[in-house]
Structure 1
Amino acid sequence: MKFALQLFFLSFLLLFLNCKKEASSDDKSTVEEPANNNSVIEHEIAEERPKDSINSKNVVQFLTLYGNENKQNRVLIKTRLGNIKIQLYNDTPLHRASFIFLTKMGYFDTTCFYRVVPDFVIQGGESERLDTQRYKARYERYKIKPEFRENRKHKYGAVALARDWKDNPGKKSTAFEFYIVQNRKGAHHLDGEHTVFGEVITGFETIDKIVNLEAGNDEWPLHDVFMKIEVIN
C-alpha cells in the first residue's frame, strides 16, 4: 500500500512538471518575435520609400532612370494672363527629365514668374511661399550638369535653366528656375552659358503680357503671376 501511494505521488509530480513546462513554452511563444522580423520590416520600408528620392549626389543616376521611364516632352504653363505651351528637347535628356519630374511633383505650382525684363526674358520657378522653399530643401537644391548643343540656341521663345554665375565653373544649371527668351532677336550672348532645353510652341502673346507688367527695381512684378504646369504629352 505504501509503495502504491509513493508511485501515485511520483506519477502526479511528473505530470505536473510536464504541464508547467508546456505552459512555460506557450507563454514564451506569445512574446517571441519571428527570427526574420527585421527583414520583413526592411522590406515594408523599401516598398514605402518615395519615388522622388533625388538629392544633390544622385542627380545623373536619378534623372537618367526617370527620363527613361517618363518620356513626355510637352508641358502647358497656365497663368492668369494666358497659357504657354512648351516643347522639351530629347537631346537634353537630364534637363527634360528634371523639368518633367518637378512638374509632376507639383513644385512649379507653388511658384510664379518673378522676373520680367522687356526685350530680354521672363523668368519663373521661384516665390516667397514656404512650400517653394520646402521643395528645394527636400531635393537638396540639386543642380544639373550642362547639356550644351550646337543646334540649341537662345532664339526667340527658347526655354533655358538659370544658373549661378559665381563659384560655378562647371556651369551647372539650377533645376528650379527657368526663363523664356522674349526678345525677337534672341539672347545669343547666353549661348554656351545656359542650357537651352526647350522652346515655346504657342503662347507668345502671353509672354508679352507678362514681360510688360509693372515691376519693382528688382524686376519682380508688383502683382504675382503664379503658374500651374501640366504635362500634356
Structure 2
Amino acid sequence: MAKLSVNINKIATLRNSRGGNNPDLVKVALDCERFGAEGITVHPRPDERHIRYQDVFDLKAIIATEFNIEGNCREQKFIDLVLANKPAQVTLVPDTEGQITSNHGWDTIKNKVYLKEMVSLFQSAGIRVSIFVDPVIDMIDAAAESGTDRIELYTEDYARNFPTQPELAIRPYVAAAERANELGLGINAGHDLDLHNLKYFAANIPGLLEVSIGHALISDALYLGLENTIQMYLRQLKD
C-alpha cells in the first residue's frame, strides 16, 4: 500500500496570516502522525510565505515518520537547509521564483548533468532523492540516468481530466509507472490528488510507494476534521 505523506504548507500559511503561532505547525505535524499519516512533507520557498526555514529544523527534531522536504535545488539556501537537516527524502522540484505552486516537472533531458550532480550530493549525505516529473517516458528514462532513487509523478493533468475521462486521464501515468518499474525507480505522486480521484489513481499505478497531499487534504479537514480526513485518505489507499 502506498504511504500517505501530509503536506502541511497550508497550515503554515494560516499561521503566518496572523503573525503568531496559531495553529502550531509542530503540533499539527505530530497530530497528523498520531492520526495515521506515514510522512510529513514541507515545501519551503525563498519568501517563506508558508514554511519558514526555522520550521524545517523544528519539525526535523520531532517527526517520527518520514520527513520529506520539497523544493528548488537551484537555491543554495535550500541545498544548505536539506543538508543541515538530512530528511528521509528530498524531492527536487523545478520551481521558479515567485511561483504560486508547482506546475510542471523537470526537463530531465536538458538538465540531466545538473540533476545527476544534485542527486549525488544529497545521496552522499544519506538522503533518498526523488525528482518531480511529468508522465513522459523520455523524462522517466533521463531521470533514471541521473541516479535518482525515485520519481514523483506530477498529477495535475490526471486530476483535471479524471472527472470526465478517468481511463484517458490515467493512461500516461500507468505507462510512466510501468517504465519506472522497469528501470528500478521508486514511484511517488502528488498534486491535486483528493478524495474523489485518489482511489482510482492508487489502484491503477503499479508500484506506487507514496502520495504527498496537502491543499485538498487540509481543505477537507475544515469540514471533516483533521483526524477523520486523514483516515479517509488512508482508506482510499487501502481499499
**TM-score of the pair, normalised by structure 1:** 0.24
Return the structure number with greater relative CO, CA threshold 8 A, min gap 6.
Answer: 1
Structure with the bigger percentage of helix? 2
Higher Cα Rg: structure 1 or 2?
A: 1
Structure 2-normalised TM-score? 0.24
More strand by share: 1
